[in-house]
Structure 1
């Protein structure tokens, strides 16, 4: 689905080519194809922030597209942007492997591609100008450290059992955060046992169902790691309904407002602070810098610190 902006969102190739307004005010035309704007509040806020940043820059015209979580639609959108001969393409991949051929086509057409938020698979790195977003492996590792530190404070680091709810299968962010958590937890808390891992698909309701099944299957659960707070709160709600939340440490990532609120209430322990506004603005700036000939690192990360009940007063409540 295409969005409309006052000067920047040309809905057809002809409009991009012939609009006198665009020619008068835009130095670059940048296309973006997003993953799935409606799936959660992070992606919705990201799109709003991206549009706002583009509107604030009179030298940029953007075409904003949403794949709706559909890989085939995203590939078609990439091909459409290539045909429109945009100056650069930003892609938030629906699937890090499946989009590589489309990214290669853009590269072959001499259109620089900036990957945002969730990277594509390594096989496609040669076709990408830069990745702009969080270091998801580090985020997973930091979540493991938060959980281990909490277990040590509780004195259960030698006996705790953990379940793990991952994001959408095949999605690079989900893979990387799970990798970071799974690699780091045994390093910092070698006696903690991870007893199960199931996908929650970034969906709160599905994650609640996954947690309900965990609670039936396991009498002893001391910690739950979820790939984002949306899923984490779903898991927490299942535990509250079952009367078992008091004995469980909940840790997530991408600190949603609901996660922040649950931390303030004392039912959710910690997360990783990540702003969709920073994410969107960084992606647009990276694209502009690439087009301007700036020296841009291939992995252009922005920082995502730990947030827990103990330090949350240092952070503003998320807007998503």
Structure 2
């Protein structure tokens, strides 16, 4: 291993001997070593909470040793981390892909070494499906579709469903979640509101400040914006901040695709309309349990989705404020 790789791994690695609840595992009395390489823990509070929840869930059972890594958004680092986990001869690898296409060769290598790979949160590209034991996470296309329905329902209530204009702030280019949430929204919106126009899409890279800048440019370019769809509430609130600063928040419907605490607070304040409720705790626990189930030889669906319901100002009292 090169000194550069050693340094990268030393910076990004936190190793914890931890465990996960699971009666089948307890009965087997077998210790599994499970490695996870995450996308970019520091980029937003969802991923930070996911990591904490993953470690906390793992600590519940001493029969699992977890190797917890973070790629820091670097594709090359993540590939190196997968290769290192293979060299460590872990029993399973969980990967939150930095890029759905670029990680396929590394996932293939794990498959060739008979190490099952569980993809978490954001799936890899379809070309790599043959090398994956299971995907655990949200159905991102459905999330985008539900966001389109929220937007259309709001426009219909406002009586502007035949004339509304929408801009979209998508996530990081090349990132499967971003691609699928945009796809779901773009396919569903014309089905439910055929006369609503999606005038432009620009990436916000999951970053609130960049999304605010994107929205500032939209506000300069377009005099008439009725709705903003963002790939998550972090970006959506960035767009909202830009609109507030420009004095144009009134009359714009803001909809996200993962409800962050800042989005929930903006919904409480009446300035942000709706989103999709998704728990990073559920996400982390589901990924780890999926890995254990695969190792125990249980029948696990390839697409192991957990539900992510709609949340708007109208029904938000049915949901707890997100912890991220």
For the residues of structure 2 that align with 1:137 and 1:8, how far apart are their CA atoms? Answer: 33
Q: Structure 2: where are the runs of 5+ without partners?
A: 1-11, 20-28
For residues 119 and 201 of structure 1, do their structure 2 counterparts lie closer, same or farther at Cα, with a shift above 3 Å needed?
same
Deviation at 1:58, TM superposition (A): 1.4
For the residues of structure 2 that align with 1:77 and 1:4, how far apart are their CA atoms? Answer: 13
Contact 2:34/2:67 (8 A) holds in 1: yes
Indicate whether 1:199 and 2:209 are aligned: no
For the residues of structure 2 that align with 1:48 and 1:74, how far apart are their CA atoms? Answer: 19
Indicate whether 1:229 and 2:233 are aligned: yes
Deviation at 1:26, TM superposition (A): 6.2
SS at match of 1:246: coil
For the residues of structure 2 that align with 1:3 and 1:317, how far apart are their CA atoms? Answer: 29
Indicate whether 1:103 and 2:107 are aligned: yes
SS at match of 2:78: helix
1:274-289 pair list within 5 angstroms: 274-289=278-293
Which residue in the other structure is 1:16 paired with?
none
For the residues of structure 1 that align with 2:47 and 2:206, how far apart are their CA atoms? Answer: 11
Runs of 4+ in 1 over 6 A off after TM superposition: none
Which residue in the other structure is 1:217 paired with?
221
- TM-score, reference length from structure 1: 0.94
Contact 1:26/1:61 (8 A) holds in 2: no
For the residues of structure 2 that align with 1:271 and 1:213, how far apart are their CA atoms? Answer: 23
SS at match of 1:139: helix
Which residue in the other structure is 1:3 paired with?
14
Deviation at 1:8, TM superposition (A): 3.8
CA RMSD across the alignment: 1.0
Counting matched residue pairs gives 304
- TM-score, reference length from structure 2: 0.93
Indicate whether 1:114 and 2:125 are aligned: no
1:19-38 pair list within 5 angstroms: 27-38=31-42
Which residue in the other structure is 2:309 paired with?
305
Which residue in the other structure is 2:79 paired with?
75
Which residue in the other structure is 1:140 paired with?
144
Contact 2:18/2:62 (8 A) holds in 1: no
